[in-house]
Amino acid sequence: MRNLAFVSMAGALALGALIIRPAQARAQGAALDFKIYCSRCHGENGKGDGADAGTLKTPPRNFTDCAVMSKISDATMFKAIKDGGASVGLPNDMPAWSAGLDDDEIHGLITYIRGFCKK
């Protein structure tokens, strides 16, 4: 009976690891997507100070500015990432990433970007 309890507990732990891993994988994927698609302009830490920021007509959004970010809906962020800045009334400096990111990846990016705002 004792061995059965151990096996059951080990099985439960293994199942828990399987449930956690996809969430971790999504978070790691969003971090990688941010690095690939966003950090050149928005910076590694989301402050709008990336290597290409100085080449743009309009400074990139500072994702750490909680006052500004709290006024931007997820739907607006989704559209800006997917269809580019002009689709939401922002400058063309923000490109459309629909060719490189699917909808789930964009939603993951939004969650990742929201994490830059620390109140």
Give 33-74 as a 3 state SS string: HHHHHHHHHHCCCCCCCCCCHHHCCCCCCCCCCHHHHCCCCH
Residue type, 97: W
Residue 18 resides in a domain: yes
Residue type, 22: P
Residue 12 resides in a domain: yes
Q: What is the pLDDT of residue 5?
A: 44
**Residue 110 belongs to domain spanning:** 2-114
Count up the domains in the chain and report the number. Answer: 1
| Nearby residues of 69 by Cβ (< 8 Å), 6 or more positions away | 61, 63, 114, 116, 117
**pTM, entire model:** 0.78
Low-confidence ranges of the chain (pLDDT < 70): 1-27
Instruction: Please state, in angstroms and rounded to a whole number, the distance separating the CA atoms of residues 119 and 80.
Output: 24
Residue type, 69: M
Residue 100 resides in a domain: yes
Which CATH number belongs to the domain containing residue 17 in this structure? 1.10.760.10
Residue 119 resides in a domain: no
DSSP state of 119: -
Token pair of 38, please? Answer: 């966003």
pLDDT digits (tens, 9 = 90+) for 64-90: 999 999 999 999 999 999 999 999 999
Closest to 119 measured CA to CA, from 62, 79, 83, 70: 70
